[in-house]
A and B are shown apart, each in its own frame.
Chain A
């Protein structure tokens, strides 16, 4: 005799099921910023997810039309606030291309060094928040502990922990302080040990694999057609990295590898970012060696000599109110979240006529409805976390 009543769930029996609309956000602990997802569910299976953005639209592009060229650099920090140096870099490269300014070699090497260090900090934050979204809290604390060391280095360099305003049109704002290189090398030696711990705790963990392997597969054709770039594209199997394929700055003289994933699932996107952290460490060390080489080759300028005066005039020319001749350019760099493009139109004068910021996260997010159709709602959070979006960059 069984006590359980005889229930069979099925539509044939006349049990009615309805689709249920769930509103996730804009305030939700696991959306990376103010993103609202309206999910139509059938049980636990997603029928359709519609992302609504724009809750952080701060009209940065309109502000650009009313600021002098050097005054706009702090606003670029606040678009993607997690890797702010790379945002600065794209903007000053765009202005330099339209104005026709060439930078000193040492400034370029410092730009690459700081940019790669910031990419490392951004991927560390991805690691922490991704672990927290999937359910593990320890990676979050460990990642932030390591990130604090990088932020301390940046603070001794330019005075700010998060929105740096460090890059300038024509170079960078401060040279490296006296003991900075020594501190960086000490931290790098320590971080290589910690990286092993961070990698081991999560990557091949059984629960993590069950949560992420085979989930949210983005095929190669879909990734290319929807305009995804950065680690999302590389995890789907496309071997494309702007630093190597459309090289800019000093990257043609540096050796690094580009990690490419196989399946395009959530685990691959995580794995590509972890490998990029190792490549960033190697690039930072190569830049330090290059700086040493430059220090030995190029002597310090004598105050008052002809080269010193030329240098001083360059600084005064580019750091005062810069008048740029008419022209337009689209400059792209490989930022932490994908291809970052700045389309600058100048009609002459001291202010831009138009500036458009093409952010990688905007295009990466537009593919979300495609890859979540027919999946479970618990997978939605993991997929969203793996796309690594920052709403400041999407909404500008």
Chain B
């Protein structure tokens, strides 16, 4: 299915879903309570037939956190991305390992680095950091003696370069 057909098919079944405006791929913003029904639909519907999870991660926007899942299908040759918005103080979401076993290690890594708790995960423990590590390093407010922010304001740096036209104009 092409991306347009996919989009119209899904929006027909779930008309309330919005698309992520900034994304260059087809990304659906899914409310947290419809996450599992939507994923089950994506797996079991014969014209959807999504077979595995390619990547599962979380992004920390400072007000909220979003879990991003990329899934694909080899038989139908299409891909989709799903985003679920979570509360940043207490991020909890259900696991999808019962649908796609490949999400197991990805969810463990997301828990390890961002602190997102996955309900009913078979084995949720740290995978990349040591078992007694405290804190979730990839969060934006994580303080560590070695993390020194570089100046985000590039006007000082740009003084050394010749005048360049606006790259996007």
Contact = CB atoms under 8 A, between A and B. Distances in A.
Direct interface between A and B, CB < 8 A: yes
Interface of A: 53-54, 57, 59, 61-62, 66-67, 97-100, 224-227, 238, 240, 245, 313, 316-318, 320-323, 325-330, 332, 339, 341, 343, 345, 349-351, 353-354, 356, 358, 362-363, 366, 395
B157 to A, nearest CB: 6
Interface stretch (B20-28, B33-41, B85-93): B20-28
B130 A54 contact: yes
13 contacts: A54-B126, A59-B137, A98-B24, A100-B168, A225-B51, A317-B164, A323-B154, A323-B167, A323-B168, A327-B24, A330-B25, A330-B70, A343-B57
B161 interface: yes
A62 B137 contact: yes
Interface in B100-114: 100-105, 113
A336 to B, nearest CB: 18
B162 A226 contact: no
B59 interface: yes
Given A62-B137, A339-B54, A362-B105, A351 B152 contact: yes
A227 B128 contact: no
B32 interface: no
Interface of B: 20, 22-25, 27, 51-55, 57, 59-60, 68, 70, 74, 77, 81, 100-105, 113, 126-130, 137-138, 147, 149-150, 152, 154, 157-158, 161-162, 164-165, 167-168
A329 B25 contact: yes
A316 B102 contact: no
A321 B24 contact: no
A326 B105 contact: no
Contact of B138 (A61, A100, A332, A395): A61
A322 B52 contact: no
B52 A224 contact: yes
Contact of B24 (A59, A61, A328): A328
Contacts of A329: 23-25
B154 A54 contact: no
A221 to B, nearest CB: 9
Q: For the complex of A and B, list the 10 residue pairs with the smallest distance between their C-beta atoms, beginning with the closest.
A: A227-B102, A54-B128, A358-B55, A329-B24, A57-B128, A366-B105, A226-B102, A356-B57, A227-B52, A317-B167
A234 to B, nearest CB: 11
A225 B22 CA distance: 30
A97 B167 contact: no
A103 to B, nearest CB: 15
Given A66-B149, A224-B52, A329-B23, A343 B129 contact: no
A363 B108 CA distance: 12
B23 A54 contact: no
Nearest to A339: B54
Given A59-B137, A313-B165, A320-B164, A54 B54 contact: no
B55 A330 contact: yes
Nearest to A327: B22
Nearest to B168: A325
A271 to B, nearest CB: 21
Contacts of B59: 345, 353-354
A321 B158 contact: yes
A225 B128 contact: no
Contacts of B157: 321
Contacts of B100: 225, 227
Contacts of A227: 52-54, 100, 102-103
Given A225-B51, A329-B24, A363 B74 contact: no
Contacts of B138: 61-62
Contacts of A316: 161-162, 164
Given A54-B129, A345-B59, A317 B102 contact: no
Contact of A343 (B51, B68, B104, B161): B68
A226 B23 contact: no
B25 to A, nearest CB: 6
A343 B161 CA distance: 30
Contacts of B161: 316, 320-321
Contacts of A98: 24
A61 B137 CA distance: 10
A238 B75 CA distance: 10
Given A225-B101, A343-B68, A363-B102, A358 B54 contact: yes
Given A240-B74, A366-B105, A341 B149 contact: no
Contacts of A320: 158, 161, 164
Contacts of B137: 59, 62
Contacts of B126: 54
Contacts of B74: 224, 238, 240
Contacts of B150: 66-67, 351
A356 B165 contact: no
A59 B101 CA distance: 26
A343 B70 contact: yes
Contacts of B68: 343
A343 B128 CA distance: 19
B101 A226 contact: yes
A395 B52 CA distance: 21
